[in-house]
Amino acid sequence: MNKKHLDSIKGKKVLVTGGLGFVGHNLVKALVNEYECNVVVVDDCTNSSEAAIASVRDKVTFHKVSVLDSERFFPLLTDVNYIFHLACIQIAASGSSPLQDMQVNAQSTLQLLEHLRHNKHPKLERFIYTSSCSVYGSSSRLPVDENSATRVLSNYAATKLLGEQYALIYNRNYDIPVSVVRYSNVYGYGQSPRNPYCGVLGKFVHNSLTNQPLSVFGDGEQTRDYTFITDAVDATVLAAVHPMAYGDVFNIGTSVETSVNKLVHLITQYVSGCEVRNVPERDIDNIRRRMIDIEKIHQRLGWAPKVGIQKGIELTIDWYKTTI
């Protein structure tokens, strides 16, 4: 059944904002290589470069444009069938640049939705807003599902939730065809360790292969639900094409809780001699436990993750070895 839905995006014109970012460039490559889409990539190159899409550069159209630059950005929407809105300020940077964080993560979404509302885009089939499970904050009940209370603990989570709400409001009030996905700690190949906002798992793998210590904050028993990049991309595309994703929100995770200490243990199975350092806890994303309920996306869209944490770490290590 999903093959029929997925076939509907083949050969279509697709625009991806933040298309040079970690999830973005992997999504772009999948849209080109698996679905033969005509892809327009939009990115201001703040923390990325065109090198991220080098393997498909001759098959996409790239524009170095900010999503806040309406005069240059909006004309690129002509005749698009799908818009994947991934452009954002990452969580580690959001506190130091709160106004920019709000503008990129929420204001750009509102401006884009307003443009879609007031201008005719008859070929638009879906607008996909990518959010984060950070919106749940510290939940006392695990796993957290889409109906769980949101408890934002960072500027990033606040602006991602605001972007979500704008998307859903414009769906209800103006029939803009939207879907929202909430990512949970995506990791895997293509995540540059040189990016200061690279996730903990990516940093650990890179440090283990370059003889640098693995810094564990606090006691290392804090947990997250880690999602491999190919699973995140597959779920995002499915949310764009499936009719039952219209106007709704879906968690993308694994429903498996993994501690930082477990990450260290798994990595040291593949890379020996790693030095581990315990350092004081930090104030970024200080959530003790996170595990995501994915029953909704499984039941309604038929999606389930394919890559477990151990296999995902193995694949990530193999990829990093080719880049060092």
DSSP for 29-87, written as a single string: HHHHHTT--EEEEEE--SS--GGGGGGGGGGEEEEE--TT-HHHHGGGGTT-SEEEE--
**What percent of the chain is predicted at pLDDT more than 70?**
95
The domain that contains 175 carries what CATH number?
3.40.50.720
Buried b / exposed e along 123-143 (16+ C-beta atoms within 10 A): ebbbbbbbbbbbbbbebeebb
Q: Which residue from 130, 234, 232 is spatially nearest to 178, judged by alpha carbons?
A: 130
Which token pair is 110?
A: 């509102």
- In one letter, which amino acid is 41? V
**CB within 8 Å of 171: residues ≥ 6 apart:** 177, 178, 246, 247
In the structure, what pLDDT confidence band is assigned to residue 36 with cuts at 50, 70 and 90? very high
pLDDT at 281 over 80: no
In a domain? residue 224: no
Domain encompassing residue 144: 2-184+229-254+292-306
Residue 58 in domain? yes
Position 121 in a domain: yes
Q: Could you read off the pLDDT of 40-54 as tens digits, one per residue?
A: 999 999 888 899 999
**Reported confidence tier of residue 283, pLDDT bands at 50, 70, 90:** low
Q: What is the pLDDT of residues 206-260, one digit of tens each?
A: 999 999 999 998 899 999 999 999 999 999 999 999 999 999 999 999 999 999 9
Judge contact between 84 and 128, C-beta under 8 A. yes
Burial of 70 (0-12, 13-18, 19+ CB in 10 A): middle
Q: What stretch of H or E contains 17?
A: strand 13-17
- The yes-or-no verdict on residue 172 having pLDDT over 90 is yes
Max Cα–Cα distance, the chain, nearest Å:
60
CA–CA dist 235, 297 (Å, integer) = 8
Which of these, 66, 147, 145, 143, lies nearest to 104 by C-alpha position?
Answer: 66
The verdict on residue 285 lying in a domain is no
Among residues 20, 17, 115, 27, the alpha carbon closest in space to that of 67 is found at 17
DSSP calls for 174-210: H---EEEEEE-SEESTT--TTSTT--HHHHHHHHHHT
- Confidence at 127, pLDDT banded by 50, 70, 90: very high
CB 230, CB 305: distance < 8 Å: no
Please report the pLDDT score of residue 197 as a whole number. Answer: 59
What band does 191 get if pLDDT is binned at 50, 70 and 90? confident
Residue whose pair of structure tokens reads 């879609």 in the numeric block: 116
pLDDT number for residue 94? 60
Tell whether 284 is covered by a domain. Answer: no
How high is the pLDDT of residue 240?
98
| 4-16 per-position pLDDT tens digit | 999 999 999 999 9
Asked whether residue 246 is assigned to any structural domain, the reply reads: yes
Euclidean distance between CA atoms 155 and 158, whole angstroms: 5
Structurally, the chain folds into a number of domains equal to 1
Establish if 9 belongs to a structural domain.
yes
Q: Are 30 and 237 in contact (CB under 8 A)?
A: yes
| Beta-sheet strands, E only, within 123-174 | 126-132
Q: How far is CA 200 from CA 64, 140, 160, 204, in A?
A: 28, 23, 20, 6
Domain membership of residue 148 (yes or no) is yes
pLDDT of 101 above 90: no
Q: CA 48 to CA 45: how far, in whole Å?
A: 5
Across all residues in the chain, what is the average pLDDT? 93
Q: What is the mean pLDDT of residues 248-274?
A: 95
